[in-house]
Amino acid sequence: MPTAAPSLQWKPAQPRRLRAILARLRDAYGRPVPRAHRAPIDELILTVLSQNTNDRNRDVAYTRLRERFASWAEVRDAPVAEVEEAIRPGGLAPTKAVRIQEILRAIGDDDLSWLEDAPLEEARDYLQELPGVGRKTAACVLLFAYGRPDIPVDTHVYRVGSRLGLFRPGASFNEAHDEMLRLAAGASPYEAHVALIRHGRRTCTARAPRCWECPLLSLCPYGKARTKAR
């Protein structure tokens, strides 16, 4: 099943369209409550652990890592096999263990607190230059650790946004990030991120989106085409 909206006649959306979508999702699921900010390095490592797994396994891996080692310096300097063993419940442990240690070596003694006040582009570029850190991970750190206005586009946000026609058909994840930032003018970046993920998990699922009961149906080209076809 295609995941995106029909490509014909696609035009860039306006910010008011995203605001209308968020208003409906707020009515359906409630307003997302921002969680307390974590320290930047904590958030960064947590996000690395979240890759290709669910929140529960990520949290188990993170908790085990923090319990096993007293500091990030200890994680950095430990035998990689010990880090790997600690994070095994999070999946892809061999890859993630190496990546975490590479990141911690690249950061050195920096606590990353300066990223809170650095120009957004500069902060994003710095994070993306760390080993294995891409646009989504950088956006997670900026949004969740500092409350900075960036919007991580994961597979749920990308799928839901594509079906709603927010992204150009075939847009890269990088382009989708830029588009979300443009569309989120006047909206809460945190709400935009969390609301689209919730919707992607609960209603606009990858294989069987429940368009007939979706509060966004009248705003959704993909849903309209799909419900009309049956």
Residue 20 Cβ vs ligand SF4, minimum distance, rounded to whole Å: 13
Of 11 and 228, the one with the shorter C-beta distance to ligand SF4 is 228
Residue 21 Cβ vs ligand SF4, minimum distance, rounded to whole Å: 8
Which residue's Cβ has the minimum distance to ligand SF4? 223
Choose among 198, 193, 87: nearest CA to 142.
193
Of 78 and 217, the one with the shorter C-beta distance to ligand SF4 is 217
Angle, alpha carbons 83-87-91 (nearest 5°): 130
Of 72 and 158, the one with the shorter C-beta distance to ligand SF4 is 158
Residue 197 Cβ vs ligand SF4, minimum distance, rounded to whole Å: 13
Radius of gyration of the chain (CA): 19
Residue 211 Cβ vs ligand SF4, minimum distance, rounded to whole Å: 3
Taking the CA atoms of residue 111, residue 74, residue 52 and residue 115 in that order, the dihedral angle to the nearest 10 degrees is 0
> Which chain residues interact with ligand SF4 by CB under 6 A?
160, 163-164, 203-204, 209-211, 214, 216-217, 220, 222-223
Choose among 133, 144, 140: nearest CA to 154.
140
Structure tokens at 33: 């409550």
Of 49 and 216, the one with the shorter C-beta distance to ligand SF4 is 216
Residue 205 Cβ vs ligand SF4, minimum distance, rounded to whole Å: 8
List of residues 6+ apart from 36 with CB closer than 8 A: none
Does the CA dihedral 14-18-197-99 come out positive or negative? positive
Distance CA 183, CA 160 (A): 14
Of 73 and 225, the one with the shorter C-beta distance to ligand SF4 is 225
